[in-house]
Structure 1
Amino acid sequence: MQMQIVRIQMMNEPIQGAVYVAMGRVAGAALAKVASPVVVEDDELLLGPSRLDPERHRAARVRYLGGEPSTDLNEELARPDGPPVCVALPPTPSGLMSLCRICASGVERGRALFIVDLSPDAAGASPQGPGPGRAIYLNVADALLRKPPVVQWSKLETALAATLWKL
Structure 2
Amino acid sequence: MPKGSTSVRGRKRATQDYEDDGFVVTDDSAPKSKKAKKGQSAGKQQDDEGNEFWELSAKRRVTVSEFRGKSMVSIREYYEKDGKDLPGKKGISLTLDQYNALVELLPDVEAALARKGEAVKRPNFEGPTGGPVKGDQQSDNDEADDAGKQNFEATSDEQDE
TM range (shorter): under 0.3
TM-score, normalised relative to structure 1: 0.23
- Computing the radius of gyration from Cα coordinates, the structure with the larger value is 2
Question: Which structure has the highest strand share of the two?
Answer: 2
TM-score if structure 2 supplies the norm length?
0.24
